Chain A
Amino acid sequence: MSTEITHGDVHEEHHDHGPDKGLMRWVTTTNHKDIGTLYLWLAFIMLLVGGAMAMVIRLELFQPGLQWVEPQFFNQMTTLHGLIMVFGAIMPAFVGLANWLVPIMIGAPDMALPRMNNWSFWILPFAFTMLASTLFMEGGGPAFGWTFYAPLSTTFAPDSTDFFIFAVHLMGISSVMGAINVIATILNMRAPGMTLMKMPLFVWTWLITAYLLIAVMPVLAGVVTMMLTDRHFGTSFFDAAGGGDPVLFQHVFWFFGHPEVYIMILPAFGIISAIVPTFARKPLFGYSSMVYASASIALLSFMVWAHHMYTVGMPVAGELYFMYATILISVPTGVKVFNWVATMWRGSMTFETPMLWALGFIIMFTIGGFSGLMLGVAPVDTQYHDTYFVVAHFHYVLVTGALFSIIAAFYYWVPKWTGHMYDERLGKIHFWWSTISVNLLFFPQHFVGLAGMPRRIPDYSLQFAEFNAISSIGGFAFGLAQVFFLYIVIKTIRGGVKATDKVWEGATGLEFEQLPSPPPYHSFTVAPQVK
């Protein structure tokens, strides 16, 4: 005899609980949304800290001569600014976006390894505190640039370098744990019907990014450990006097460093590929080609590292190989830009704030890409190497590229996250203020670079004075714009017009079509069906 009994609503189970109360919610949380929020706040704080260091740099460079800081401190600022922006602002921001978005985009209830997710976040504040604390140590903080070339970072480095090495190890462990989590989540936890070629491009680009991270992080860990053993344990990996080779350091560093650039830009491609179709009200043009282009960029990123070191004296055949391989990357990158433009072609375009930031990204990232092409040409790079032209190039890629995409992502998804619309008027002011000032900041650096101004110097020849003054004014204005952004962020979190579930008329994807705004603390506890 069998019976089926249907009870009424009986009880709430453990799964239905909301977040804990108080500070411990954030310390012990394993919820992907909470951890995403923590990452994004940490990235914002680090952006302001690294930005403050940039302000010191621009203040000193406002006029020729030494006015405000000692050259040694200036070098510490350039070093920590670079490290904090790369490892503290851009990367954690993308990991924060991945935490928030990957599970709700693929229909998973959370990340695959939630406890590891908590650890990978909470390592970071300690790592950055340790890194920043070097500024207060005897001999000062690291002053050898974010690329920490030997022997500056070994034989001639201050004692605080050991703390820098440990901090880099911690950041690396955090990145690896984050990458493993993203890979395990995307591979194992996609909703029924969510095949690889149906995944949103943000998920795809993050899968590829995570793979890149997995591939290159041991190289970073290895190189800083070899620095440590050279400094304290009598090895000579990078010491010519002991049979080592300082140039090998550059090879190892850039084998990590160049894919690292793509780690910081591939998720941006995913974000732009989500925003442009929404506001063009057309499906993304060439989805498959976007996936293959992302994979090609990742693959090529392993083969071009030495274009950062054309001037070390490599054989011509080597220079030719790295030059051709570098220029080859423009093909898949061009495919992406072409597809975004083709998506917009004859679309019903509107220009809400996220779209403005996305368009800003496309135009200015392309400028950064073109200057990258120029730098990729070996005979020309011999003149450009270590000048402000290089500084202009990578800031167009990382600020108007990566950072603009992160800000675009904030405006695009914040109504979904908080249930509140941001203030459209303030968002547009933020965009135009940032765009004008960022171009004032970085565009003149092309000219001073081409005219021969070296990077990483606190003083310069009088001929560069006007462009540097313009650059500094742009820098202060851009910095202030991001403080204004902080106001917009807080205002949006605290309230605003209620966002609809779909948020944007043209939005697609599980997070917009199947979740309310804001989504419940535990979303997709029942897997959605993807058609």
Chain B
Amino acid sequence: MINIDKVSSGNGYRFVILPNCSISWRQLVVFYLLTCLLALAIGLLFTFGGMWLVLPFSGLEMMALGTALYLTSRKVHRREVITLDSNRVTIEKGVSRVDQSWEFKTAGTRLIDEKYGAAGSRRKLVLGAYGRYVEIGEFLDNLEKDELAFRLKDCIIRV
């Protein structure tokens, strides 16, 4: 998914690129908490009946489920932000904060659209300048990559 905003200060644009995500973070947390509640209820039911050894297994399992959901949701909740104005192009990647960032001069920026695989079925969009290039929108499908390439090119020309 690609969101494009006009940056309020100056003459720039901001692209926010997100992978496909079929559940929001909030929905996932609600799902997890409800599951924990159910597991806790079952564990406590048996604990009050004297069968307390069910509870630690419930806890272990909920930890495993939580870890699994967190790890998979990190993959789908990552985002890439490309900010460009007449001077600079900034690429930032991360999940809840910026983990990696790159900066280029807009004047020398090149967008490379690489096709490979059977009949060019795979695409790779690379943005950069002077020998430093960064792949962008790795998780987008081909239609979305088309759109991103078109919009980026358009914005680079405008600024």
Contact = CB atoms under 8 A, between A and B. Distances in A.
B153 interface: yes
Contact of B122 (A15, A185, A194, A229): A15
Contacts of B149: 4
B141 interface: yes
A461 interface: no
B113 A4 contact: yes
A342 B72 CA distance: 39
A216 B42 CA distance: 8
A223 B58 CA distance: 12
B38 interface: yes
Given A7-B112, A248-B49, A525-B122, A112 B117 contact: no
Contact of A222 (B51, B73, B122, B157): B51
Contacts of A526: 121-122, 141-142
B28 A10 contact: no
A14 B63 CA distance: 33
B156 A2 contact: yes
Nearest to B38: A215
B57 A225 contact: yes
B54 A2 contact: no
Given A5-B112, A11-B116, A218-B61, A112 B72 contact: yes
Interface stretch (B6-14, B17-25, B90-98): B17-25
Interface residues of B, number: 55
B110 A188 contact: no
Nearest to A194: B22
A115 to B, nearest CB: 11
B39 A180 contact: no
Interface of B: 20-23, 28, 31, 35, 38-39, 42-43, 46, 49-51, 53-58, 60-61, 64-65, 68-69, 71-73, 75-76, 106-118, 120-122, 141-143, 149, 153, 156-157
Contacts of A218: 39, 42-43, 54-55, 57-58, 60-61
A505 interface: no
B74 to A, nearest CB: 10
B117 A221 contact: no
A262 to B, nearest CB: 15
Interface in A1-49: 1-13, 15-16
A215 B46 CA distance: 13
Interface residues of A, number: 56
A119 to B, nearest CB: 12
Contacts of B69: 183-184, 187-188
B115 A9 contact: yes
Interface in A172-214: 176-177, 180-181, 183-185, 187-192, 194, 211, 214
A104 interface: no
B31 A187 contact: yes
A89 B156 CA distance: 59
A187 B23 contact: yes
A451 interface: no
Interface in A241-280: 244-245, 248, 251-252, 255
Contact of B49 (A10, A221, A251): A251
B108 A1 contact: yes
Given A7-B114, A177-B64, A222-B46, 7 more contacts: A9-B117, A113-B71, A183-B65, A192-B20, A215-B35, A218-B54, A222-B57
Per CB-CB distance, the 6 closest pairs between chain A and chain B, nearest first, are A222-B54, A190-B22, A218-B57, A2-B156, A221-B57, A218-B58
A527 interface: yes
A112 B67 CA distance: 12
A510 interface: no
A211 B69 CA distance: 14
A219 B46 contact: yes
B120 A9 contact: yes
A343 B23 CA distance: 31
A367 interface: no
Contacts of A16: 117-118, 122
B28 A187 contact: yes
Contacts of A217: 57, 61
A6 B68 contact: no
A189 B22 contact: yes
A176 B156 CA distance: 50
A220 to B, nearest CB: 9
